[in-house]
């Protein structure tokens, strides 16, 4: 198969949460362990950093990778979902995995995948671990897909476990309360492996402390321990806590991967250049100012919408679309009523019908709006309607941003 045929087969034949949602979620690690054994257990040959959390996983993973790259290490980076190209998920020092490696991996293991009904995410994790071992990375930075305890990445024993924050997201899988979700995220904590927590509230702190004590794991609350606010090329307000999380994680890694203060500072300033990270408060136009951001739940959107209010503009426009399992009652009340909205549907099977989004939005007072045929159509209309002193925000879903950046 060609690369495109291989990717199309992967997307079509195997459950993929990014496309299908709940039907692709696996609630145990049986298949992942089966695949790891089939591949010769590459996870046992990796030095790694494991990162979970409701928001900020991708930014934090990329910043840690960038700092380690600045120190001269060969760094594998596994993240999800991708924006444009499947290969964005698996990188070494910012370079995506080759098309040939993907094709050969699928071809060599296709029968095994089919016989054992492996999911899209399970085989992608296997691909990443196999690639990093064969390419002899010094360290792999591994982002959890969803949750932690039952996530396919959770077969590794890392040098440090990182949990960025806890918010109400994916509640149909992870629980309806912060302690329940914190318990699932804390599932990445391993015996005698140190843990870095980015943000906490009293009810989640108790969960982390209990799990760390059970695991005999050193526990670090980055927000309490790091006082400096380091400059960073990523300008979203939510990066304030992510940067502290990165700084504390780098400190914990010193014995295994020594770095300097200069490596930390340079890594934060060059994270986009070093890792190719996109879609985090990313400016794509100047006049009017246009910002894309992948925030998609109330925890992240509250910070982003507050940051928008700090901007200077005459009129505010939103290009907005969501997926069909999004809790609109949770997020729509956060949006300003005095803005103008261009509603659109992301081009994925999970995309919410634009008329349904409009109907629900109007019930929350977002009445200044129009329906658009596509994300690109919405963006064109927003540019046509806005002036040079206006502000346009594009978001609501990772998939909306993916069609623009």
Kindly report, residue by residue over 79-107, the tens digit of the pLDDT: 999 999 999 999 999 999 999 999 999 99
| Start-to-end C-alpha separation, the chain | 29
Contact call for residues 139 and 47 (beta carbons, < 8 A): yes
For the cut 50, the answer to whether the pLDDT of residue 25 exceeds it is: no
Contact call for residues 264 and 67 (beta carbons, < 8 A): yes
What 3-state DSSP class applies to 335?
Answer: coil
Judged on CB neighbours under 10 Å (0-12, 13-18, 19+), 370 is: middle
Residues 6+ apart with CB under 8 A from 41: none
CA 357 → CA 70, 183, 295, 309, distances in Å?
44, 32, 17, 23
Stretch 293-303: mean pLDDT:
92
In sign, the C-alpha dihedral spanning 10, 12, 17, 18 is positive
CA 97 → CA 18, 45, 88, 102, distances in Å?
20, 19, 8, 7
Tell how strand 160-163 and strand 139-143 pair up. Answer: unpaired
Residue pLDDT, tens place only, 348-388? 888 999 999 999 999 999 999 999 999 999 999 999 999 99
Stretch 184-195: mean pLDDT:
97
Q: Is the pTM of this model over 0.75?
A: yes
Stretch 219-232: mean pLDDT:
96
What 3-state DSSP class applies to 78?
Answer: strand
For the cut 90, the answer to whether the pLDDT of residue 311 exceeds it is: yes
Which comes out higher in pLDDT, residue 207 or 177?
207
Stretch 50-71: mean pLDDT:
97
For the cut 70, the answer to whether the pLDDT of residue 26 exceeds it is: no
Q: How confident is the model at residue 168 (pLDDT cuts 50, 70, 90)?
A: low
What 3-state DSSP class applies to 237?
Answer: coil
Q: How confident is the model at residue 201 (pLDDT cuts 50, 70, 90)?
A: very high
Which comes out higher in pLDDT, residue 139 or 166?
139
Token pair 């050969």 is found at: 104
Q: How confident is the model at residue 146 (pLDDT cuts 50, 70, 90)?
A: confident
- pLDDT at position 24 is 43
Contact call for residues 259 and 63 (beta carbons, < 8 A): no
DSSP 355-391: HHHHHHHHHTT--SEEE-SSHHHHHHHHHHH--TT-E
Residue-averaged pLDDT of the chain:
93
Residue pLDDT, tens place only, 117-126? 998 999 999 9
What 3-state DSSP class applies to 95?
Answer: strand
**How many C-beta neighbours within 10 Å does residue 118 have?**
25
Stretch 175-199: mean pLDDT:
92
């Amino acid at each position: 198969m060609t690369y495109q045929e291989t990717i199309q087969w992967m997307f079509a034949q195997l459950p993929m949460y990014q496309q299908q949602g709940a039907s692709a979620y696996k609630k145990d690690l049986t298949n992942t362990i089966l695949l790891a054994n089939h591949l010769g257990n590459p996870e046992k040959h990796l030095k790694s950093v494991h990162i979970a959390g409701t928001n900020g996983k991708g930014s934090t993973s990329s910043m840690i990778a960038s700092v380690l790259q600045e120190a001269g290490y060969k760094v594998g980076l596994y993240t999800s979902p991708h924006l444009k190209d499947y290969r964005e998920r698996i990188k070494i020092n910012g370079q995506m995995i080759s098309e040939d490696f993907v094709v050969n991996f699928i071809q060599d293991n296709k029968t095994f995948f089919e016989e054992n009904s492996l999911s899209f995410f399970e085989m992608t994790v296997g691909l990443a671990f196999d690639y990093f071992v064969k390419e002899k990375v010094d360290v792999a930075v591994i982002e959890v897909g969803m949750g932690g305890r039952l996530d396919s990445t959770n077969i590794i024993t890392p040098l440090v476990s990182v949990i960025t924050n806890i918010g109400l997201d994916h509640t149909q899988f992870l629980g309806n309360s912060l302690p329940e979700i914190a318990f699932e995220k804390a599932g990445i904590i391993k015996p005698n492996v140190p843990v870095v927590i980015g943000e906490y509230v009293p009810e989640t702190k108790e969960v982390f402390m209990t799990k760390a004590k059970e695991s005999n794991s050193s526990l670090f609350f980055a927000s309490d321990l790091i006082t400096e606010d380091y400059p960073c090329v990523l300008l979203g307000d939510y990066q304030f806590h992510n940067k502290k999380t990165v700084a504390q994680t780098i400190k914990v890694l010193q014995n295994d991967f020594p770095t300097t203060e200069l490596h930390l500072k340079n890594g934060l300033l060059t994270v986009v250049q070093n890792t190719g990270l996109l879609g985090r408060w990313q400016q794509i136009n100047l006049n009017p100012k246009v910002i894309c951001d992948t925030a998609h739940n109330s925890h992240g959107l509250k910070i982003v919408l507050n940051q928008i209010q700090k901007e200077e503009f005459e009129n505010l426009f939103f290009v907005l679309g969501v997926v069909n399992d999004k809790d609109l009652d949770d997020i729509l009340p956060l949006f300003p009523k005095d803005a103008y909205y261009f509603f659109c549907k992301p081009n994925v099977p999970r995309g919410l019908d634009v008329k349904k989004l409009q109907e629900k939005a109007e019930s929350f007072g977002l009445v200044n709006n129009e329906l658009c045929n596509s994300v690109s159509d919405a963006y064109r209309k927003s540019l046509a309607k806005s002036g040079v002193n206006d502000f346009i925000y594009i978001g609501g879903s990772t998939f909306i941003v993916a069609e623009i950046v």
